[in-house]
Amino acid sequence: MIGAIEAGGTKFVCGIGNETGDILERVTIPTTTPEETLKQVVEFFDGKKIERLGVGSFGPIDLDPESRGYGSITSTPKPHWSHFNLIGELKKHFPIPITFDTDVNAAALGESVWGAAKGLDSCLYITVGTGIGVGALTEGKLVHGLTHPEMGHIMVRRHPDDTYAGGCPYHGDCLEGVASGPAIEARWGKKAIELVDNNQVWKMEAYYLAQAIANYILILSPKKVILGGGVMNQMHLFPLIREQVTTILAGYVHHKQILEEMDTYIVPPGLGNNAGLVGALGLVL
């Protein structure tokens, strides 16, 4: 039995699974204060005899094993959670091997083992929702360096018709600042879900996401690009994004997958909304 936690800013999804990626039991717990939330998490796993635990978390997080803060959520704007040591707290209750990574790295791993990038040693998992996060698998390994990637914050060229200043508290009009769910709402004055029939909204959204994806492709050359998250429930975004990525790359990246098979290259998650939880399971395989 393996435990898995997808620790999100809105909810914690906890599950019990096995080595073939099946989730046998799961529970969803609202993310309130660390004390309240963790109490319920511990209750769920208590007595379940899990041997290992994988945790994919919202961030930024401290993944440096040499650091005193290892296992913490670091400088989140989310009240109460800044510098909370999630793994330290879990270790108190479950003295078992625990593997910790970002929620999006976990999802990228899950998709590569059981989902849309099954069998591939490289892929990207991009979530577009309240924020924009990206996990990356390259040469069979999840990407880390000084810290974990923060690809949602790259700079993009502004759309000529976009008058919205951008909502990122750090960078203003970085990708997340102009293309996250809250940015769409702030720019157009309505929630994304109420703008489904407004083509201009989605063309602009695709313009920004395609630019970022083209840069990711030029930098990492992933074998599959997977897009999930609330905003990507607008499935009509996929063809718009594929078209603009093709236009931006302009035939420069000579690979059949990009030149001829874009429909199977930029795709929705194979694991649907389970990518994060199943990926957390994958972290401890």
Please list, in sequence order, all residues whose beta carbon lies within 8 angstroms of the beta carbon of residue 53, skipping any fewer than 6 positions away: 2, 3, 4, 5, 45, 90, 94, 96, 97, 98, 99, 284
Q: Binding of a second copy at residue 162 (CB under 8 A)?
A: no
Q: Binding of a second copy at residue 154 (CB under 8 A)?
A: yes
Closer residue to a second copy, CB minimum distance, 149 or 276: 149
Quick one: which of 10, 32, 200, 221 contacts a second copy (CB under 8 A)? 221
In this structure, the strands spanning 98-102 and 123-128 are unpaired
Residue 218 φ then ψ, to 5°: -70, -25
Distance of CA 63 to the CA centre of its chain: 16
Quick one: which of 11, 26, 52, 144 contacts a second copy (CB under 8 A)? 144
Identify the helix (H) or strand (E) that includes residue 26: strand 23-30
Q: Binding of a second copy at residue 276 (CB under 8 A)?
A: no
Cβ burial, residue 186 (10 Å; 0-12/13-18/19+): middle
> Hunting for tokens 């994806």 — which residue is that?
213
Q: Binding of a second copy at residue 72 (CB under 8 A)?
A: no
- At 251 the three-state DSSP class reads coil
Q: Binding of a second copy at residue 78 (CB under 8 A)?
A: no
Q: Binding of a second copy at residue 143 (CB under 8 A)?
A: yes
Quick one: which of 165, 193, 218, 285 contacts a second copy (CB under 8 A)? 218
Q: Binding of a second copy at residue 219 (CB under 8 A)?
A: yes
Q: Binding of a second copy at residue 242 (CB under 8 A)?
A: no
The footprint of a second copy (CB under 8 A) covers: 60, 74-75, 122, 134, 136, 138-139, 141-151, 153-158, 170-171, 211, 214-216, 218-223, 248, 250-255, 257-258
